[in-house]
Structure 1
């Protein structure tokens, strides 16, 4: 890893190929090797910003992060025979369970992860066809030992090195990661809490299938990756705010099954106050099924289970004091419409210095929307363009976000933020009026988590700046959104403050204050 004139330069694919060639020897690319070789052979792998991102997100040491990044590259970007060869020569053991499920003898499965590279090669060549069949591949005739050593393995390691470089440089976050240092609060660079935020929203489990192609009707296709993790806009915004150093509590309904308990533990690990959660006995956790493509395009199906797991109006009444005494309240449309409206009423019951209100209207209610009076109680609405169709002025047949935005401002929404394509368009009823925040380009599509990062960052900036909204605050929130986008396909990609500041320090954009 090199620095020239203060600018970071990634290692070359040749350097990484050489490192991987060294790491395949003996017992392979194990955690012990990565830790023992710190500062020596493994140093380029540990110093990758992709590794540091993984370490920050998953709260693991750099050796575990390097192992995770390389494993993801093998699983997600290398196909066919090369995937099997990479797994074997590096002794990753990524497909051990799959091999066993297809009847491959345990002796063979263990041999593919043996301490000796020679043993691993022999097991690979001796079981070539069966290993390929277990992966749904046609492997043909096994190559000779000489061809495997002299041609196939070098090709595989060069390809893996190229994929590591792609992961390193083809992301806006590659130049903005800040490695944790001693003394960082909670190990993630968070400062002491600078404000109090309550998030009122949803808590679900996300089942994410990662695939390269969508199946046609009445057919199926294989996913190359799967992840089961806590999700929902309420959970994501609460975690995003906590990562930015805010004191956060989540108000949501959570089922008391094993998935609900996992959600609670996840929130506590992230420093989110869970004392206001409504635990629903003998209920099943709501799920979102997500099919995610390689660059972040996705489709989702929600199962909200609102008959069992819902946040009702009466669940908020005992929280009226907490809602009026915090600095900002973030509300999502994941909860029933009447609960959203009651939340806004309780916040506005504060006699003075009421909290800021930031609302996310996704998914829009299918039958109706919140009242005009409730719209007038929203300080900031953060919405994707497609979510605003129902707010079109009367007589407007073709959707146009500009008159829709004016319509919402006329209803009483103070500021509307429409993120998209890495940037954001702002419509405001203040002196700022309308302006666009430039995009931070990335090869990845914005995920729903990116908008959640924007909302949390907007709250943090408004609290830090005495509730004054400006172009600078909009740019900062957009940068936070870009950081969350940049870490795809890692889950749990919410940035901390130093991460956002690092991105902005390298940005080409400057803000000219509004006159």
Structure 2
């Protein structure tokens, strides 16, 4: 497929034709994509976005194509488009949401039937309730003739456009090399498991994807939009779960429809939500994100901390759990006093206490955490700009190196300073700073990359029985690079196999002392 901005190009028309053919009979199912005797799906399997997904996740092209289509329907289409695409292609993406809304199981089964006519009948017969299930305003259903002749064509046209967009923004993926059938797969280390508790924020992210920021008092068009669960605490919990850890999240979540979506998402990702505080009659906090083409972004937070917040009393209820886990991950998304109490409880057992990894973003605008709390931090994972308040007295200009060394003097055991995809580590144990290299990526470090680093650091410290080393730092940096490189994909937090695949293909080695 050619890279171009013309969404009605011949490439898009080819995809529309492919989708129309795959719509017939039993729909876009894996067995049809795997059938080498049927060349219809070849353009879909040949998409750079498909090849990229297959390479990143080490799956066959047919499985990758099915997942890429599903992601487009879930995350780049909306309202009626989502519901119609899901039904006519027999994707079954929203079956769980339909079930939770109480739609008849027979109707849900009919939406994935091996007959297009049966799927259309179920779609039209439950039109309003399907929309309500996904939180979309209910509308009157079209006629059967309008559905076949107009609606379906427009929906498949939009899906083809979104697939072309993924094609364009899968930069560099046309050179992705898929493993040959005889290649031995990279073994995935299962790790030793371990119990992790994350204390932080769980919000909804409203992400606008654009090529440029508008000037003041003007507007510009976004080429994409996504509404999805987010927050540093939530993302770190999901990242840790994908690395095979036993993860619980302590956060405050509203009980509105967005809060319910957050809870469902966490459970689907394997995160324990039994410690989450559910706040009744409250509104979910939001983060508005403007994301550029290569991953860099700006954000505005509305935390609604008057209603939705973790207090010291909330943390006190979980003192035993905090003291009894292997690693505690803490973010500054919660009030300063709550952070300090979390650190105190986590370190209440002395030498038997869990390791504590802290993310100081966003820094508190009017004060810092106490000197005593700094001594309870084992690993501080920070960007340089977040440490401005800790600069030595009399420093005329901001220099990260003396600031970092000042943090060690305050009592932080190890500081991981993230810069441009790499990491500089300051540690009392190492006696000197060392640098972990950057794994090259055409994409810029995303906001979630640090979350992948923190989760991977926790996982590898547990694997190594708490011993920190340059190899541990390199593994965490590789996880961060995976999240950056996989930026165009939704849910880019890597699993262990993805991290180890990147390391196996890199030229970086660390010599034993």
TM-score, normalised via structure 1 length: 0.74
Aligned pair partner of 1:111 in 149, 166, 176: 149
Select between 251-260 and 363-372 the one with higher mean Cα deviation. Answer: 251-260
CA contact (8 A) 2:291 2:297 kept: yes
Match of 1:475 in 2: 474
SS at match of 2:387: helix
Find the aligned partners of 2:178 and 2:20 in 1 and give their Cα distance: 34
What's the offset of the Cα at 1:170? 4.4
Deviations 1:379-430 (A, max 9, x none): 1000011111111100112101000001000001111111121211111111
SS at match of 2:349: coil
Match of 1:167 in 2: 170
Change (3 A) 1:65 1:432: farther
Match of 2:17 in 1: 24
Match of 2:487 in 1: 488
Match of 1:67 in 2: 69
Find the aligned partners of 2:76 and 2:314 in 1 and give their Cα distance: 47
Change (3 A) 1:18 1:258: closer
CA contact (8 A) 1:170 1:442 kept: no
Find the aligned partners of 1:485 and 1:260 in 2 and give their Cα distance: 27
Match of 2:272 in 1: 273
Change (3 A) 1:25 1:293: closer
Find the aligned partners of 1:495 and 1:308 in 2 and give their Cα distance: 33
Match of 1:500 in 2: 499
Match of 1:293 in 2: 292
SS at match of 1:448: coil
Change (3 A) 1:306 1:21: closer
CA contact (8 A) 1:255 1:283 kept: yes
Find the aligned partners of 1:170 and 1:50 in 2 and give their Cα distance: 5
| Alpha-carbon RMSD | 4.0
Residues paired across the two proteins, number: 433
Change (3 A) 1:477 1:491: same
Task: Tell me, yes or no, if structure 1 residue 420 matches structure 2 residue 419.
Answer: yes
SS at match of 2:317: helix
- Output aligned runs, 1:152-163, within 5 Å: none
Deviations 1:303-350 (A, max 9, x none): 000111110001111211111110000000000001111111111111
Change (3 A) 1:163 1:304: closer
Change (3 A) 1:220 1:367: same
Find the aligned partners of 2:392 and 2:200 in 1 and give their Cα distance: 28
SS at match of 1:381: strand
- Output aligned runs, 1:44-193, within 5 Å: 45-46=44-45, 48-52=50-54, 61-68=63-70, 110-112=148-150, 164=167, 167=170, 169-170=172-173, 191=190
Deviations 1:124-159 (A, max 9, x none): 9xxxxxx9xxx9xxxxxxxxxxxxxxxxxxxx99x9
SS at match of 2:306: coil
SS at match of 1:207: strand
What's the offset of the Cα at 1:37? 3.9
What's the offset of the Cα at 1:492? 1.5
SS at match of 1:408: helix
TM-score, normalised via structure 2 length: 0.74
Deviations 1:458-496 (A, max 9, x none): 000001001111111111000000111112123321111
